[in-house]
A = this chain, B = another copy of it.
Amino acid sequence: MKHVHYTDVELEVPNEEGTKYLKVRWLISKKDGAENFAMRLFEIQPGGYSPLHQHDWEHEVFLLEGKGVRRDKNSEKSIKQGDVFFIPSMEWHQFVNTGKETLKFLCLIPYK
């Protein structure tokens, strides 16, 4: 069994355009033997955001800390600790930190 604290996992700058003040920890991945899905923890500093994008895989998200908004191409809605999101394949999405603390959320993706 892998058993670590999330802060023990490296906080990396992702190789992805359209982000600001965003870093990621790959908590569980293929390196650990996970073959079906990966668990990442994103940390976004105040004023930062994930890209406004779409792709052909889903996200399962749990918001751990902080406040912000989620956006698609037309609308915006506030998000808070304990919120859960299922983002289906090809749906536009973005997370923005509009608060004063770090926004932290888990985002899981399939391997397939």
Prevailing SS type, chain A contact patch: strand
- CA distance in complex: A10, B7 (Å): 31
Query: Chain A contact residues (Cβ within 8 angstroms of B): what range?
Result: 35 or more
- CA distance in complex: A7, B63 (Å): 13
Interfacial chain B residues near A2, Cβ < 8 Å: 84-86
This protein's copies in its complex: 2
Contact A27:B87 (CB < 8 A) given known A36-B58, A60-B108, A62-B106: no
Option from B27, B32, B36, B85 in Cβ contact (under 8 Å) with A62 = B27
Q: A residues 67-93 with Cβ under 8 Å of B? A: 70, 72, 77, 79-80, 82-88, 91, 93
Per-residue CB contact flags for chain A residues 15-36 toward chain B (1 = under 8 Å, else 0) read: 0000000000001100011111
